[in-house]
Amino acid sequence: MKNYKRFILIMLFCAVAFVISFSFFMDFSPISGKSDQFVQDKQALKRLLHNSSEIHRIWKAGEESREWSLISEECKKELRITKNFDESLLRCSPLLLQCHSLFSKNLDYSLVTFEESGNLPFRYLTKSNSSYQGLREVGIAVTLVDKKSLKKLDIFLEDNCHEVYLEQRAYAYGEQIEIKDGEDYRFDNFDRHIYLDTHLVTNFDINMWLKFGNPDFTKGISEKKEDELFLPAVFLTYTQMESYCSYKGRQVLQAHFLDAASFLPMDLNEKIPKRNLRSPYYWTKKASEYKSDCKLLYSKDCLGKREYQTNSSQPSWAGLFDTMGGVFEAVRNPIDGESNLKASSYYFDSKSSWHKIGFRAGWNGEGFGLRDFDFRGLNPYVNIDKFKVGFRCMREILQ
């Protein structure tokens, strides 16, 4: 009996000793190690958040970022870009981040490349190719890796640098009607938030669509490279233009909104003027003040003077580039469906009557030969197999 009690006491003692030592083991020694790990993890997260802000800064600043000034030469060499282009197109451009990831030195982070996107360090996210909920905008997803801890952070950069808000006011469609008592086609956009692309869709934009869009809608379209990257995409059919804008959650620009953003208002402070008087040239209020200036209108006369590039002409009052001159621009015209082409372009010399805002030609939306266009008898004097037709998108945003 005595032995039995002793046995119980020993067992109890052992159990208590075990529990105490186990608790001690659990409570103290690993916790300090674990705590250190948690502190280090939090520091890694802080570094990743800081670096995500840096990436965001480069994304927004584009050509104005110090990173671009350091890597531009290497980047252009890598992409085989030899000609000048409007470098403001590098804002919200994954191309700059791609070069940053390749050529910027002494970074304490790296960007993960994705096999499915051809080893690019980003993926383009839209509502049609991603199931991620709550993303209001389209944009790119980038995965940052903290080099010290190897921890990762996924970030999303919204692609909305190249659009402008159309001021809420009264506008008019088409050329000014000169007939006495003639009625202008007026409209307004009060209580609506309309955003228009500032520039024509580029080949690089289309390359992104080819990589990340639904291949059913991009059949027959080929990727463009090198010096063509930043030029307008000009050989898409109207249906393909529509599909591209849809993929970005947008619509093809409508004719009356192109007019709204192009005609210079006589008085910017007067939101609802009695009449929408308008000059046919976006740079002046005077109808007589036409200038043959390649910075205002890139016409046929400019071809020998300087190379055409996207955003050749100055922006209109609302911020749209190339509203006159350059390549043709297709629009959707809800008022006169057959007047769907901004014909002011480098296919006509500076004296051509096509160089007027709101004066449009027709395009069947399918081909690019002369017979696919209706120039109202004012045909271009050029021998060209395929005319170049650009486009841009627009969208409305909820209140």
The two beta strands, 389-390 and 185-188, are unpaired
Q: How far is the CB of 347 from another protein (least distance, A)?
A: 27
| Interface mask toward another protein for 88-127; x: CB under 8 A | -----------------------------------x---x
Nearer to another protein, 91 or 356 (CB): 91
Using the Cα atoms of residue 267, residue 271, residue 274 and residue 279 in order, give the sign of their dihedral: positive
Stretch in the footprint of another protein (CB under 8 A) among 101-109, 199-207, 277-285, 332-340: 332-340
Please select the residue that binds another protein; options are 12, 102, 177, 378, rule is CB under 8 A: 12
Nearer to another protein, 116 or 178 (CB): 116
| Residue 215 amino acid letter | P
The two beta strands, 389-390 and 328-330, are parallel
**Residue 17 in contact with another protein, rule: CB under 8 A:** no
Measured distance CA(305)–CA(302) in Å, rounded: 5
Stretch in the footprint of another protein (CB under 8 A) among 70-78, 95-103, 252-260, 380-388: 252-260
Nearer to another protein, 383 or 399 (CB): 399
Please select the residue that binds another protein; options are 72, 129, 149, 314, rule is CB under 8 A: 129
Residues 6+ apart with CB under 8 A from 331: 252, 253, 254, 255, 258, 340, 341, 342, 360, 391
Residues of this chain, 50-69, that bind another protein according to CB under 8 A: 52-53, 56, 59-60
Largest CA distance in the chain: 126
Please select the residue that binds another protein; options are 237, 249, 264, 301, rule is CB under 8 A: 249
Nearer to another protein, 175 or 301 (CB): 175
Q: Is 192 left (phi over 0), alpha (psi -120 to 50) or beta?
A: beta
**Residue 145 in contact with another protein, rule: CB under 8 A:** no
Measured distance CA(29)–CA(21) in Å, rounded: 11
Total interface residues for another protein by CB under 8 A: 95
**Residue 395 in contact with another protein, rule: CB under 8 A:** yes
**Residue 251 in contact with another protein, rule: CB under 8 A:** yes
Please select the residue that binds another protein; options are 79, 164, 287, 370, rule is CB under 8 A: 164
Stretch in the footprint of another protein (CB under 8 A) among 225-233, 289-297, 351-359, 389-397: 389-397
Please select the residue that binds another protein; options are 87, 103, 187, 359, rule is CB under 8 A: 187
Please select the residue that binds another protein; options are 6, 192, 291, 351, rule is CB under 8 A: 192
Candidates 392, 307, 351, 333; CA nearest to 82 is: 307
Contact (CB, 8 A) for 373 and 363: yes
Please select the residue that binds another protein; options are 157, 201, 221, 258, rule is CB under 8 A: 157
Nearer to another protein, 214 or 379 (CB): 214
Stretch in the footprint of another protein (CB under 8 A) among 37-45, 64-72, 302-310, 343-351: 37-45
Nearer to another protein, 85 or 257 (CB): 257
